[in-house]
């Protein structure tokens, strides 16, 4: 049982690299994407929360198949990722600007 859980977890780690939310966060964490991190993160958090709500409504009220709930959970996890990344991107942007300013002072002095 434990070996199955470990194999499943390693398979999830390989697959999760290609989730759209992980790819978007990876692009936004680059220095050129940090300025867009907060607005895009907030917009996508709202969009993923709306998608998760809609999918869970389909499962609960419209008698959709139960496997649709899995996508609702994935959308909810992605929404939480973006909701936590939006303020974090502001901190990362401030840190990057501080490092750039220090570097400019060292090169001009």
CA triple 32-41-94, angle to 5 deg: 50
Q: Average per-residue pLDDT in the chain?
A: 87
Distance (Å, whole) CA 71 – CA 55: 7
Question: DSSP secondary-structure letter at 45?
Answer: H
pLDDT in tens, 40-58: 999 999 999 999 999 999 9
pLDDT in tens, 56-91: 999 998 888 888 888 999 999 999 999 999 999 999
């Amino acid at each position: 049982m434990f070996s199955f859980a470990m194999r499943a977890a390693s398979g999830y780690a390989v697959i999760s690299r290609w989730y759209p939310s992980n790819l978007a966060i990876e692009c936004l964490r680059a220095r050129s994407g940090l300025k867009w991190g907060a607005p895009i993160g907030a917009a996508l958090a709202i969009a993923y929360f709306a998608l998760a709500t809609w999918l869970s409504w389909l499962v609960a009220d419209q008698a959709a198949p139960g496997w649709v709930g899995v996508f609702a959970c994935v959308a909810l996890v992605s929404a939480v990722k973006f909701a936590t990344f939006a303020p974090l991107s502001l901190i990362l942007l401030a840190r990057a600007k501080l490092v750039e300013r220090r570097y400019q002072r060292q090169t001009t002095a």
